[in-house]
Amino acid sequence: MKRHVPLLIALFAWAGLSAAAQAQEFTGTLKKIKDTGAITLGHRETSIPFSYYDDKQQVIGYAMDICYKIVDALKAELKMPKIDIKLNPVTSATRIPLMANGTIDLECGSTTNNLERQKQVWFATTHFVTANRFVSKKASKLKTVDDLKGKTVVSTSGTTNIKQATEFNVQKKLGMNIIAAKDHAESFLTVDTGRAVAFFMDDILLYTLVANAKNPGDWVISPDALSVEPYGIMMRKDDAPFKKVVNGAINGLYKSGEINKIYEKWFLKPTPPKRINYNVPMSAQFKKVIANPTDSGDPDVYK
């Protein structure tokens, strides 16, 4: 038996080294989560129904539900029965810097995935497709961008919408005065109080803001779409192992059909806190994504 002792010692040593190697194989965000036992989700405060506070100051929404499914996938990947979830509020202006500096690990909200932003961050598989329009008071009788010539308009700081409004302003020589607001609620209030005549934003967010307004019938959303806006959950750039798990979780929701239940919960049923049903059927563009998942930042892919 003694002659087998060195062999057993060698086997145990090899097993120990192998286990150590496996424990160290994680890099980037996966390693950070494994080492700390926690993940930080960036969330929005007023991006209804994607990511927002309810009347109990709990963070809820369509994007949050998807992010929680991603956390479940991370538990399986890292073989961790529990991962502490830390919530960190972000705005349109702070979300990319907070991702880049490591404050947040996923951004669960309503962020447009485009080629310019992909130079700074990566995006998960698209989880919604919307379009850029503007909302105004019916009494203003504004239907097209040309009707905004020489007028004051607003959009939220750090969004693609304010960038597009600025570009349209120059291209069409409209002479608009463009105000930048802190968040969507402030932008909407700017029009409601008469400090601006129109608010440029993704149409799904405008629909929900109007539905939650004191007098929804006073508002109208422009019929013409100015652009296609695919939403993606943000993560740090150049972190392929982490992105593989994140996309795998979302693609799994699409393949199993579970995404339909999540979508129905937030867009086709009464939602908290006011129990409003936004009644927004799944678009043909998003159905296309579910059938053939993509994380492309090229708007032409979604047309």
| Domain range list for the chain | 26-127+232-302, 131-227
Say which CATH topology domain 131-227 has.
Answer: D-Maltodextrin-Binding Protein; domain 2 (3.40.190)
Contact 152, 165 (CB under 8 A): no
Count of other CB atoms within 10 angstroms of residue 263: 22
Say which CATH topology domain 26-127+232-302 has.
Answer: D-Maltodextrin-Binding Protein; domain 2 (3.40.190)
Q: What is the pLDDT of residue 10?
A: 45
pLDDT at 116 over 60: yes
Q: What is the pLDDT of residue 19?
A: 45
Which residues lie below 8 Å from residue 187, measured CB to CB, with a gap of 6+?
154, 155, 156, 181, 199, 201
Using a 10 angstrom Cβ sphere, with 0-12 exposed, 13-18 middle and 19 or more buried, the burial of residue 75 is middle
Q: Do domains 26-127+232-302 and 131-227 have the same CATH topology?
A: yes
Per-residue confidence band for 290, with pLDDT thresholds at 50, 70 and 90: very high
Q: What is the pLDDT of residue 24?
A: 52
In the DSSP assignment, the letter for residue 147 is G
Per-residue confidence band for 1, with pLDDT thresholds at 50, 70 and 90: very low
Which residues lie below 8 Å from residue 155, measured CB to CB, with a gap of 6+?
161, 162, 165, 178, 179, 180, 181, 187, 199, 200, 201
Mean pLDDT, the chain, rounded, equals 92
Per-residue confidence band for 182, with pLDDT thresholds at 50, 70 and 90: very high
pLDDT at 2 over 80: no
Q: Mean pLDDT throughout 270-280?
A: 94
Question: Which three-class secondary structure state does DSSP give residue 35?
Answer: helix
Peptide bond into 81 cis (omega under 30): no
Q: Mean pLDDT throughout 195-200?
A: 98
pLDDT at 6 over 80: no
Range of weakest confidence among 18-22, 80-84, 122-126, 256-260: 18-22
